[in-house]
Amino acid sequence: MTALLGLLLALTIQNTPPSGETWAWTLYSGAGPLVLANEIPDTPRLRSTLECAPGSSIVRLTLYDAPPAEGIAVITAGAATANVEASPRRGELQTVLRADHPVFAAFLADGKLAIAVGEQTTGIEVDRANLSKLRRFAELCTG
């Protein structure tokens, strides 16, 4: 039993970011745009954001930890794909996708979205515990 507890503690320490910071998915709604952010709360640290004006169905995806790239991006989720324009902005990768597109519907199903620009591939993954936030974001975005 003691060995099992030691193993669990070691795994917890190994998977904890420095200084105990934990990445979270947070849905912000209010007077401005809707934002679903993968962030360390109460810090400026972001991995990715999805932004949308309520009811517009247009989602801006920004990946902060991806190498900036420009050109045509191939976005894949499940068996669906879309070709969209990607642009670097302030050292980030940014693109736009419609919330009513089949790729976004597949993203809502399992929380996994891959973005490839040229030889670079990166992605967004929303864990099962936070899929309800992603689905609520989509619901508010599409009106």
The pLDDT assigned to 89 comes to 76
CB atoms near residue 119 (< 10 Å): 6
E strand map for the chain = 24-28, 34-39, 46-52, 58-63, 71-77, 80-89, 92-98, 112-117, 120-125
The pLDDT assigned to 61 comes to 95
Q: Any bridge partners for residue 95, and if so which?
A: 61, 86
The pLDDT assigned to 91 comes to 75
AA letter at 96: V
User: Between the CA of residue 139 and those of 56, 92, 100, 136, what are the distances in Å?
Assistant: 11, 26, 10, 5
The pLDDT assigned to 48 comes to 95
The pLDDT assigned to 20 comes to 64
Q: What is the dihedral of CA 10, 37, 68, 95, to 10 degrees?
A: 140
Q: Which of 78, 77, 79, 75 is nearest to 63 (CA)?
A: 75
Predicted TM-score of the model (pTM): 0.82
The pLDDT assigned to 66 comes to 82
Q: Tens place of pLDDT for every residue, the chain, 143 residues?
A: 333 333 333 333 334 445 567 899 999 998 889 999 999 998 999 999 999 999 999 999 999 988 778 899 999 999 999 999 998 877 789 999 999 999 999 999 999 999 999 888 999 999 999 999 999 999 999 97
